[in-house]
Structure 1
Amino acid sequence: FFSSKNTLDFKFMNHRVPAHKRYQPTEYEHAANCATHALWIIPSILGSSNLYFLSDDDWEAISAWIYGLGLCGLFVVSTVFHTISWKKSHLRTVEHCLHMSDRMVIYFFIAASYAPWLNLRELGPWASHMRWLVWIMASVGTVYVFFFHERYKLVELLCYVIMGFFPALVVLSMPDTEGIWELVAGGVLYCLGMVFFKSDGRIPFAHAIWHLFVAFGAGTHYYAIWRYLYLPSTLQARVSK
């Protein structure tokens, strides 16, 4: 019985590793990690293109490009990294660089997700500084990953949380509150996903489940951006009905 159980464990989940080491997914987990983000590459490209074609001015077009690059970049980099990590042979250096890129791109994805709200909504005189502060935060996070990758995992998680919540204070204080509930719902999905992000070796397919929470959170935020920032007012009124 115990032998059978251990065999199943090694198929669907490896043992948890020490804090300073990287978890090695099983073959099944590798496949799930690749698939759960690869599936969203084409939808993210189509969705980003849709926002660009709905743009009425330069600021909307620029914001669509920024958001689209962040959204597509997240899924593409993640998929490439997990594919190389799964099928690697002698690509240790490439895998390491892609793993760093996979972590770095999350910061820019967060900044890009806020860009349409910060660029297209009315902001107060102090709140407007968040338009560039969010990119400084993303840059600081990138530098942190470059120098301390995989060393202080709890600090890394804390950086993501701060990066995700700090700009939200500005968005939530905007005079126009349309889309706020969708933003909150997406944020809740990301936070729930973090439980699985730190659960490799405890929950089978934990990282793939985290990927799904990211996809659903991103989808919720995309819907809010599409509906409240880009959808023409006449169509928006129909959707509201």
Structure 2
Amino acid sequence: MKRIHQTDTEEWFNSISHGVTALAAILGLVFLIILGVSSLKDFTLFSSIVYGLSLVSLYTFSTFYHGLRHGKAKNVFHILDHCGIYLLIAGSYTPVLLISIGGTTGWVLFAIQWAFAGVGIVIKVFYTGKYDLISTLMYAVMGWMIVIRWQDLVDAIPSPALMLLLAGGISYTAGIVFYLLDTRMKYLHFVWHLFVMTGSVLHFILIVKYVIV
């Protein structure tokens, strides 16, 4: 049987999990900016800011959405929460595409990623509650879009970085299953959060250790 709303206890877990991560993301943004300023690589500061802000945005939006009582404010943050997913996917790709891959290929994929994000955000803002399956498929397509230029990625980053990228992508993708089933069983949305957090940590390590530095 499907549930319309999560229980207060579930929402507490959902809010706290991403609230803690939002605070970590703010510290991560500061760290990324410091690395970006000191790096000699092209577009590092820009990429660091875009990526860091995408992390902060997603986890902040999610924290407020799950922490607020039902009403207009919660509805607004619900939309922002879903928009934040698009921002994080495109934001996470930005350093890899502009710094590691670079050139025409990197910039074209960068433009495609953010175009997808823009379309997804428009759908969420103007067609709230509709086309949820399409939105979820767009998350997956955006997340795995790099496979169309897989060799460029293999040539651009070392094997350990590639493993981190794949592990993070798998974590995000596996979490979608729990997200789609969260109306059928308690705490599955919290499990989805754990998968998202794991994916974010893996990609943060990748970007800091192998892309920016």
State the TM-score, normalizing by the size of structure 1: 0.80
- Pick the aligned partner of 1:216 from 198, 201, 212: 198
Number of positions where the alignment pairs a residue of Structure 1 with one of Structure 2: 207
Hey, what's the Cα distance between the residues in 1 that align with 2:127 and 2:44? Answer: 36
- Pick the aligned partner of 1:177 from 157, 175, 191: 157
Percent identical residues = 30
Hey, what's the Cα distance between the residues in 1 that align with 2:50 and 2:151? Answer: 21
Equivalent residues in 2 for 1:16-31, closer than 5 Å: 16-17=2-3, 23-31=4-12
Structure 2 equivalent of residue 191 of structure 1? 173
Structure 2: gaps (5+ residues): none
Structure 2 equivalent of residue 83 of structure 1? 67
Aligned: 1:40 with 2:24: no
Q: Which has the higher helix share?
A: 2
- Pick the aligned partner of 2:137 from 150, 158, 161: 158
What per-residue deviation string (whole Å, max 9, x for no partner) do you get for residues 9-56 of structure 1? xxxxxx414xxxxx3001211111111101111211112211221221
Structure 1 residues 77 and 141: alpha-carbon distance in aligned structure 2, compared to 1, 3 A threshold: same
State the TM-score, normalizing by the size of structure 2: 0.90
Structure 1 residues 35 and 172: alpha-carbon distance in aligned structure 2, compared to 1, 3 A threshold: farther
Hey, what's the Cα distance between the residues in 2 that align with 1:171 and 1:226? Answer: 21
Hey, what's the Cα distance between the residues in 2 that align with 1:180 and 1:124? Answer: 19
SS at match of 2:171: helix
SS at match of 1:182: helix
Question: Does the aligned pair in 2 maintain the 1:117–1:171 contact within 8 Å?
Answer: no
Structure 1 residues 30 and 222: alpha-carbon distance in aligned structure 2, compared to 1, 3 A threshold: same
SS at match of 2:101: coil
- The Cα shift of 1:73 comes to 0.6
Runs (4+) of structure 1 exceeding 6 A deviation are none
Structure 1: gaps (5+ residues): 1-14, 18-22, 232-241
Give the RMSD, CA atoms, in angstroms: 1.8
Aligned: 1:202 with 2:184: yes
